[in-house]
Chain A
Amino acid sequence: MARLLNRRPGRLAAMHLAVAPFLLIVLAYVAGSAVRLAENPNDKLLPAPASFVETAQRMAFEADKRSGDYLLWSDTAASLERLGLGLAAGVAIGLVLGIAIGLLPYVTAALRALVAVVSVVPPLALLPILFIVFGLGETGKVVLIIVGIAPFLVRDVALRVGEIPNEQLIKAQTLGASTWQIVTRVVLPQILPRLVDAVRLSLGPAWLFLIASEAIAATDGLGYRIFLVRRYLAMDVIIPYVAWITLLAYTMDLGLRSLSRRAFPWAVTGDSRS
């Protein structure tokens, strides 16, 4: 008998195994919901799956009576805009500061300690400050996402830059490269694949900070909606919204992963687990 760690499922078996946990969760929900609804037809905690479809249809395809918006789409647009702005700014900061800290000794000396300290400040603790400074508008929410992910990105990029063998930097200099040319032609292209990985890891925190700030102060957005209907125990809205957020986040992760595979053919990753 082979050791457990040497036994591998076939392709088909692997697929079944992957689907099984999802099926189990759905089954558990359906069963639980049926039991509770049999006891009390008005139970709000585990509404019947059919009600999700109904609610989702209403949120997505019927204009809201008060605002005239299709709520699911307007919420999604508002949230994705905040998320996109926060991620873009976070990545820009991560790249610029990370490369500078990783490559230029003067910048390392000046900023490394600062970044290390800033990165342990819990961003949510800063949320009140951000709302006081930037007001309750969009800026505060976007800044929260930036504060939440930029320190990690800066440190990760700096670390990756530091991992580039010194030989390459010397070699580039013997070929006549300036600092700027080394940044643009040697360092930047080599850390881009790592950056994509780092952004993938940042997606989770970015969504967390987005939902948190929308929950506290917003008039639209996916997080706002969830926390709004929570007052009415509207699980039939909350659960489809959570599923929708999950789908969005998962799609982004998948997109970044395939981008990284296609855009950087020279990077032999070879790790199928990530």
Chain B
Amino acid sequence: MSLISVRNVWKTYGDDVVLERLNLEVERHEFCSIVGASGCGKTTFLRMLLSQERPSRGEILLDGEPMDEEPNPDRGVVFQRYSVFPHLTVQDNVIVGLEFQQSRLLGRLFGAARRRAVEQAEEMIEAVGLTRARAAYPASLSGGMQQRLAIAQALMRRPKILLLDEPFGALDPGTRAAMHELILRLWRSTGMTIFLVTHDLSEGFQLGTRLLVFDKVRVDPDAPGAYGARVTYDLRLKQRPFDAPGDTVPDPADDGVAATAAVPLANAQAAPA
């Protein structure tokens, strides 16, 4: 059974059709790059995967079940901007997910529980190369560091699916290459499924195991909103490293405390630039 089934999904705002007739099966541990012209509905598609928006027609299944109606820890997200909390330090940004999970009333951990959370966070912070900036506030981090922080934060709750909306759009080529390495490493070591929206076609080709191109097949010049975009190309790019010999992949963890306890980030030791 596929992890995600998109079944005849439409999205309309008023009379404007943004997306039409989307049909898609996505397997576990797939890395889907999504490209398409500006305004064709890529972000809208991610929002539906996140339950931030609901399809106007059709349905999206997760593990064969209708998706939760609200965003939840199954699906992590990194937006292009505003993904981290400006009033929390790097370390607090990373452990806040554990605090939400383990302290329903206060949303804060103290004493031994906090030390355990900090230990787990340490590993993640190191994986994204922010150890030295642990006590800094996001405003004093560079754009690349903020995005790495956002990724670390999102991964702490072990999402099955990670949604990335142009996360590297504002970065210089060098930083971007380092981020590519980082995200691939994390993807391999966690076994999660990733959706990455990008405007950079080569980035899409380089990272994805699958490339989805969103485009309008029908255009009515008199009524630009009459038809929506569909997936016009669905390319399988390469053998999934999942199947390659030598790559060990830990099971994608389910919910629960046990799952959030120490995740071996197999290949995620070296810090990116």
A residues neighboring B (CB under 8 Å): 165, 167-168, 170-178, 180-181, 184-186, 189-190, 264-268
Q: A171-B154, A175-B101, A176-B101 known; 6 other A-B pairs, CB under 8 Å? A: A168-B83, A170-B52, A173-B71, A174-B159, A184-B107, A266-B139
Closest to B136 in A: A266
Q: How far is the CA of A165 from the CA of B108 in the complex (A)?
A: 22
- Are A266 and B87 within 8 A (Cβ)? yes
Chain A residue, CB-CB nearest to B80: A167
**Chain B residues closer than 8 Å to A268, beta-carbon distance:** 139
Contact B100 A177 (CB under 8 A): yes
25 A-B residue contacts at CB 8 Å? A167-B79, A168-B85, A170-B52, A170-B79, A171-B84, A171-B150, A171-B154, A172-B85, A172-B100, A173-B71, A174-B50, A175-B76, A175-B96, A175-B153, A176-B157, A177-B107, A180-B105, A181-B104, A184-B106, A185-B100, A186-B85, A190-B85, A190-B86, A266-B138, A267-B87
B87 and A264 within 8 A (CB): yes
- Report Cα–Cα, A178/B71, bound state, in Å: 11
Chain B residues with Cβ below 8 Å from A171 are: 77, 79, 83-85, 150, 153-154
Which residues of chain B from 146 to 170 have a CB within 8 Å of any chain A CB? 150, 153-154, 156-157, 159
A41 vs B176: C-alpha distance in the bound complex, in angstroms? 83
B residues within 8 A CB of A172?
85, 100
Which residue, B83, B87, B138, B154, has most C-beta atoms of chain A within 10 A? B87
Residue of A170, A189, A267 near B71 (CB, 8 A) is: A170
Closest to B156 in A: A175
List chain B positions with a Cβ less than 8 A from chain A: 50, 52, 70-73, 75-77, 79, 81-88, 96-97, 99-101, 104-108, 137-139, 150, 153-154, 156-157, 159
Contact: A266 with B86, CB < 8 Å? yes
Kindly list chain A residues whose C-beta atoms are within 8 Å of the C-beta of B154: 171, 174-175
A161 and B72 alpha carbons, distance in the complex (Å): 22
> Which 7 A-B pairs rank lowest in CB-CB distance, beginning with the nearest?
A175-B97, A165-B82, A173-B71, A181-B107, A167-B82, A266-B137, A185-B107
B72 touches A174 (CB 8 A): yes
A190 to B87, CA, bound (A): 6
- Residues from chain B with Cβ under 8 Å of A267 in the complex: 86-87
Question: CA A189 – CA B88 in complex, angstroms?
Answer: 9
B49 CB to closest chain A CB (Å) equals: 11
> Taking CB as reference atom, which chain A residue is nearest B52?
A170
CA distance A189 to B159 in the complex (A): 26
A176 touches B87 (CB 8 A): no
Assembly CA distance A170 to B137 (angstroms): 20
- Contact (A185, B99) CB under 8 Å given A170-B71, A190-B86, A265-B137: yes
Residues from chain B with Cβ under 8 Å of A184 in the complex: 106-107
Smallest CB–CB gap between A177 and chain B, Å? Answer: 4
Cβ distance A161 to chain B, nearest Cβ, rounded Å: 14
Interface centre among A170, A171, A175 (most CB of B within 10 A): A175
The answer to whether B77 and A189 have CB atoms under 8 Å apart is no
CA distance A271 to B101 in the complex (A): 38
CB pair B73–A175 under 8 Å, yes or no, is yes
**A185 to B85 Cα, complex, angstroms:** 10
- Interchain CB contact under 8 A, A167 and B81: yes
For A186, what are the chain B residues with a Cβ–Cβ distance below 8 Å? Answer: 85
* B101 surroundings in chain A (CB, below 8 A): 175-176
Q: Are B104 and A185 in contact (CB under 8 A)?
A: no
B104 contacts A174, C-beta separation under 8 Å:
no
> Which of B86, B106, B108 has the most chain A CB atoms closer than 10 A to its own CB?
B86
Taking the closest CB of chain A, its distance from the CB of B163, in whole angstroms, is 9
State the CA gap A172–B97 with chains docked (Å): 8
Q: Cα distance A130–B50 when bound, in Å?
A: 51
Evaluate contact between B73 and A176: CB separation under 8 angstroms: yes
Query: Distance in Å from the Cβ of A267 to the closest Cβ of chain B?
Result: 7
Residues of B contacting A189 with CB < 8 Å?
Answer: 87
CB of A175 within 8 A of CB of B87, answer no
Cα–Cα distance between A268 and B105 once the two chains are bound (Å)? 30
With contact pairs A184-B106, A190-B87 given, residues A174 and B100 touching in the complex (Cβ less than 8 Å): no
Smallest CB–CB gap between A262 and chain B, Å?
15
- Determine the distance from Cα of A28 to Cα of B71 in the docked complex, in whole angstroms: 67
Query: Which of A172, A176, A184, A264 has the most C-beta atoms of chain B within 10 angstroms of its own C-beta?
Result: A176
Min CB–CB distance B129 → chain A (angstroms): 21
- Residues in chain A near residue B153, CB distance under 8 A: 171, 175
B76, B87, B108: the one within 8 Å of A174 (CB): B76
A185 to B106, CA, bound (A): 8
Q: A170-B50, A176-B97 are in contact. Are A185 and B108 (CB under 8 A)?
A: yes
Closest A residue, CB atoms, query B73: A176
